[in-house]
Amino acid sequence: MIKQDNWRHQSPETALTLPSRYFYDPEHFRLERDRIFYGAWHVIGHKNELSEPGRFIVRDLFDQSIVAACDRNGRVHAFHNVCQHRGTRLLNENRGVQKGVFRCPYHSWCYRWDGSLAGAPRSNNLVDFQLDRYNIPKVRVEEFGGFLYFNMDPNARSMSDLFPGAEEQIEDAFPLMNDMRLVEEKDVIVPANWKVIMDNSIEGYHFELSGPCHTDLAALIDFKTYTLTQHDHWWTYVGKSDPRTTEAYGVDLGGTVDEKDCFFNIGLWPHNTFYTFPFSKLLGTFLIYPLTPESSLLRFGYYTPYKELPAVSEACMSWMNDKLGPEDIKLNEAVQKGLRSFGYEQGRYMIDEQRSNESEHLVHHFHTLVYDAVHG
pLDDT for residue 211 = 82
CA distance 316 to 223: 20
Query: Could you tell me if 192 and 335 are in contact, meaning their C-beta atoms sit under 8 angstroms apart?
Result: yes
Percent of the chain past pLDDT 90, that is, above it, reads 91
- CATH architecture label of 42-155: 3-layer Sandwich (2.102)
- The b-or-e profile of 27-41 (16+ CB within 10 A means b, else e) is ebbebbeebbbebbb
User: CB neighbours of 343 closer than 8 A, spacing ≥ 6?
Assistant: none
Q: Provide the phi-psi class of 279: left if phi over 0, else alpha when psi is between -120 and 50, else beta.
A: left
CATH value of 9-40+166-375 in 3.40.980.10, 3.10.180.10, 1.10.2020.10, 3.90.380.10: 3.90.380.10
DSSP output for 82-146: S-TTT------SSEEE-SS-EE-TTT--EE-TTS-EEE-TTGGGSTT--GGGGPPPEEEEEEETT
Q: Closest Cα to residue 151, out of 25, 306, 41?
A: 41
73-93 residue pLDDT tens: 999 999 999 999 999 999 999
178-227 residue pLDDT tens: 999 999 999 999 999 999 999 999 998 887 777 888 889 989 999 899 99
Outline which parts of the chain fall under CATH 3.90.380.10.
9-40+166-375
141-162 residue pLDDT tens: 999 999 999 999 999 999 999 9
Greater confidence, 65 or 357? 65
> Does the pLDDT of residue 1 top 60, yes or no?
no
Query: Could you tell me if 320 and 277 are in contact, meaning their C-beta atoms sit under 8 angstroms apart?
Result: yes
Mean pLDDT of the chain: 95
CA distance 122 to 128: 13
pTM reported for the whole predicted model = 0.95
Outline which parts of the chain fall under CATH 2.102.10.10.
42-155
| 3-state class (DSSP) for residue 340 | coil
Q: Read off the pLDDT band of 2 (50, 70, 90).
A: low
236-288 residue pLDDT tens: 999 999 989 999 999 999 876 777 899 999 999 999 999 999 999 999 999 99
Q: How far is CA 154 from CA 7, 104, 157, 159, in A?
A: 31, 26, 9, 13
Strand partners, 151: 140
CA distance 320 to 358: 22
Q: What values do phi and psi take at 301, rounded to 5?
A: -120, 140
